Each structure stands twice: as structure tokens, then as C-alpha cells.
Structure 1
Amino acid sequence: MKIFHLFSNYKFTGPADLALLLAKSQQHLGHEVIFFSGTPPHESPNHLSEIATERGIDVRSDLFLPKHFRLRQLLNDFKILKQKIKEEKPDWIHCHLPSDHLLGCLVREKQSPPIVKSQYDLDPVKNLRSRYCRSRTDLWITPTPSATRNLCSWKISQDRILEHPPIVDLLRFQPESKETPITKDQDSIHIGVVARMQQHRRFADLIRGFSLAAKENTSLHLHILGRGTHQEEVAKEPARQSGFVDRIHFPGYLESKLYPRHLAQMDMLIFLVPGSDGTCRAAREAMASGVPVIASHRGLLPELIPPKAGLLLDNDSPEAISLAILKLSHETGLRRDLAAGGRAHTESFCNAETLSQALESVLQGRISTV
């Protein structure tokens, strides 16, 4: 089978990794996959295209695919994609973001290949563009039961929905091995945070929660992985004022090759606010790496983090964060059980090839009737 993926962004952000993982797994199963990514501004690097190429995916730059609505570029992409469909004859078109979903639905005709849309958030966007696409989309992929119910309440029938937990790269993210070349103090406990340093990500509460726990447990260290335009005021200044600046570390943005190993060394990960990827990639990667997750009840997190893989906060106040940190830091056995449970969960439910096979099975009958 031949599959088109449309992704209206040139940055490796949001659900980009999920889209590439699915495309690669489909390719591994013997399908011909063509991945269309967004075109960056003049002389800007196309990070998504570079990563897709590194992973051996056939990525094309024939389309503009801007993140935001641009009428002239949309009309240009409409003409080119129509021609590509005529020449390449894909069996289905997989859309991932609002702008590429609109494009896919605009080229949809009676004899066109089915349109598939991955839903990465708890609630569908209910604007005019989404309502136009709703009736023109053959299959929706939802990440959790609540996301499925929300689509159904938006008058999308159950037979047009495939529910599957968000996938994760199980080869790239694995529990830390005994042979790891990185050594760490056996008495220290390392708490990870992976997120862009933005105002809405509640870094001040997180640092305050860590500080309360650090007063009671001198072995705790906080590692904030990521960057952000306002990182000084959002995270670094609160860290300096906490009184524990020597135990709050800012490694910055880690290269792709270094990140999995660094993540696997954490003893726990805190995830409070979903970002541009509603499926909370860092939390899922932590589970695959055998790292227990402390999570809030925001968005999809309560359904993404099972009880055997982490702790859900009653609220995300500094006091609640501190109590969860201290619980996991004191209870070594619980931490070990949650680490094993998280890895087992991702192996059982977050496998990319399982999703690829389920998607192919659902679409088989629909393709034959086109």
C-alpha cells in the first residue's frame, strides 16, 4: 500500500515524533510511505525533514504546508496535491495538524483515497474549519477513551474512530542499563522535567514544590531539560530565589542522541501541563525508559499514566508536588515497581507497529470500496 502523510510544520515539535514513528513503522511493514512536511522560511533549516531523512523516511518538500492559514499557499498546495494524488495514487492520506487536515479534506472527492486524522488532544477544535473537515474525514485516531467520547459527542460515529494509545519509540527509549558509561552518586535522587520554559507550564510552583521536598531530603536534585524565550523569569530566577540553586540544574536542550540516555538516568519525572503535543511525549518516553511519572490531572494525563506507572497529583500545588516527590524518594520499592510498570505498559499498548496493523485492518474494507 502507498500512504501519504501530511504535516503542516517544518519544526520537530508537537506531535511530529508521533507522525514520524507511525510512518516509519508502516514503512517497516512493507508499505510505501511519502511524508510531506512544511516548508520553512527562506534559508531556515527544515528540522523535521532532516530528522525524517535520518530515519530513512521518504520526505518531500513539494508543498508549502504552513502551520497557520495562508490562502495563497493553500491554493498552491491544493493544485499540487491533487496532481500528486493522480500520479502516485495513494491508498490513504493521513493528516496530523489542522492546516494539513483542511488541505486533505479540500482535495477529497468521491473517488479519492480515504482521509485519516490523528487526534492528539482531549477535545476536538470546534471551529468552522473543523466542522468542514468533520464530514470529509473517513477515520479518526483517538489517544484515550475520553477523547473518543468527546469526538462522539461532536457527532462523529463510533465506526469512524480507531482508539489507540499514543505510540512511543521503544527501541530508542529503554531503561538504563548497568553498562551505561554515565555514573551518578548512589545517594542522590534525580528528578527530571522536560518542557519548554513557558509561563503557563507552572515552573514557579514546580520549583517551590521541589524546594519544600529538598528541605527534608538533602539527596534530591532537580534537572530541567529544555529552553524557552522567557526561561530567566520563568524558571532560572525562581531557582535562584529558592535557596537550592546548587541542586537545581539546567542542562538546556539536549541533542537527540544524548536525550534518551539522560532521561533514563532520572529517578522520577514531573509533568504538570501538556504543551503543543497533547499526548505528552516526555511523559510517555519516561515510562518507556523505566522512569516513574508524577503527573497532574490536566488534559490526557490521567488516562496516559496508569497507576502502575506513576502518581497522579490530587492537585498541582507546591505542597502536593512536594509530597509526591518525598513519597517516591523514600519508597525505593515503589519507585522500582512503577519503573517496571511503566515500561511494561508502553510495551503492551504504545507499540507503533500495533497501531499500523490496526489502521491497515480498519481501512482495508474502505479502500476496496473506493
Structure 2
Amino acid sequence: MSNPLQTVQQLVQAIRPADAEVMQQARARQAQLTKPAGSLGLLEDISVRLAGVFGTPQPHPRGVAVIVAAGDHGVTAEGVSAYPPEVTPAMVANFLAETPWGSGGAAVNAIARTVGARVYVADAGVNADLPAHPRLVAASIRRGTRNLRVEAALTPEETEAAVLAGAALARQAIHDGADLLVPGEMGIGNTTPASAISARMLGLDVAAVTGRGTGVDDVTLARKREVISDALKRQGSAAADPLGVLADLGGLEIAFMLGVMLEAAAQRRAIVLDGFVEGSAALIGVALAPALGDYLFAAGECAEIGHAAQLAHLGLTPMFRLGLRLGEGTGGVLAAPLLLSAAATLREMQTFAEASVPEGN
């Protein structure tokens, strides 16, 4: 396993842009493959980007890991979610449960088993005593965040510690063979900090980035938007200081996912973005390290309002629109076979010359 970087700044400095020369070679190869030009659509674009990530015109990514970080939020005291905070530790137990089908009884477990992805579960800051479990990574910085409506959710020190904890688990997943990393999350109330981060980083109105999350009614949605507006009015952070925004308005699992992304990019691995909460971490990440964007691949555009604005800012095209809004990394895991397939076309298809197939006009 590579040596850990000791600060977030070191992680940021370790990220280099994708290899532009290799991508040019990959585009040239794509143009010669036995198919009409552009006939594989977005897969062609993805394959070229993967070539740049892995530094070879015929990339061969293999292992897929989804890292599910769990954390609680003090802002749930404001009644912003349809579910109580007790659901967070209960879902952690579900991620780890033994079922007739294998380890884990949540959606991300079922989908990961189906596509051959490995699931890592981390306690990044659950507000409960979680029993020790061989498949639970104990990485809690504190038991949930503070109430962002009235004060900063985290201190700068807590934020950095959570980011580095995420980087450490990403490093382990890469050591275990992961070439595609899917950051995922579980935390009741976490679309509230994700919306607050998005509003601040994108400079958008609260209503444009604040949706129903777990499916709240109109009254709760109005309260949620009011809570976020109050948090922004505190003026506890500015977009020019991304880590400050994360500390002020974020969550422990959001910081943890940021660490996963930074470490993956530093080690030249592809990052598959799931949904809105993951997108808020990516907004912080590209503000810190613009080259991080080269390593991000958007799975789908989720049903949560504001996700499209995140993707537009990140310059990412989603691979599907399935109306997902679950989180856990589910959409990212669903997208992993598309990335692997895109790489396979560039790597394994023959060119017209290799196959002795006449080219079209």
C-alpha cells in the first residue's frame, strides 16, 4: 500500500491532470475501430477519458469498490427529514447483515453483488454506539455534526480528519484491487448540508438546489429551505475557501467521500459519482483541485433537484436517468459495468486494418 499523505493539502498537490497525449492516441484508435464513427455514443467518450486516467490508450480497469460512509447531522433537530436519525445506525447494521444472498441487506449490497463490486462500510460519524463488526471500518471523528442552522457543523480540524479518514479507506480499497471507486453515503438529513454546500459553491438560490430528499411533504420542504437559508445567512464561510464551506455547512460522510475522491485521483483511479450528496463533495473537491474533474464520471442524473446544476458545473454528462434518489452509491455501482465495457471496446475491438474489414467512405 502506498504511503499515506498527511494533510489534505498534500493530497490536493498529488493530483495531476489526466494524460492528454494518451487521450489523443485513444481518440485516434476509436476512429479506426470496426464500427461507424460515433456509433457507440457516450461510451466512446468514456473510453477516451479512461485512457487518460489510467495512462494507456487501451485501458484495462478491473476491480470495483463502493465505499459507504455513514454519518449523522445535528440539523435533523430542525425537522428537515421524513425519517428519524435512528435510521442511520439501523441502516449501517443492514449494510453489514448476513442474508441468504450474502453479506448486506441494503440496495447497494444487492446491486454490488450483482455486478461484482466490493462494499466497504465506514462509520464516519454516526450518533450511536455501533457494535464492532469485522466489516465495519471505525473511522468516526465525532458523533454527528453540530446544527448547521445555528453554528458551523464541524471544526476545521474535524473536517480535515474526516477527509483523511476517507483517503485512508480509499487507499485500502485500491490496495485490495479497486480501479473504479464509488463514494457512497448514508446519513439521515444529509441532503440538507448537500443543498447548503451546493447553494454556496454554485452561487444559486436555495430553492434551486433544495429538494425533497427522503420524500418530505410541502411543509417540511419549506422548513428545510428556511433552515438552509438561515445557515447561509450566518456567513460562516465563502466559496473561495472550499474546506471552510465543508466545515461550516457539511457532514462527516461528505468530508469522508471527499477524501475517497482525492485519494483515488492522486492514485490515478476512476471515480464514479452517484447522486446529489456525492456531488456536493465533488464541488468541494474540484474547487480544491481542478484536475480532480478529470477522474470523475457521472453515473446518472438523480431525481433530487440541484443535481443537474452540480453536473453542469462539473462538466459531466450522466450515463442514465432512472429517477434514483437513494444514495448509498447505488447509481455509481450500476454505472460501473458501463465504464468497464467502454474500456473493453477501446482495448479489445479490432481496427479496420487489424480485422481486414473495408472502411466506409
What TM-score results when the alignment is normalised by the length of structure 1? 0.28
**Which of the pair is proportionally richer in helix?**
2
Identify the structure with the greater strand proportion. Answer: 1
Higher relative contact order (CA 8 A, sep 6+): 2
TM-score by length of 2: 0.28
Find the structure with the greater CA-based Rg: 1
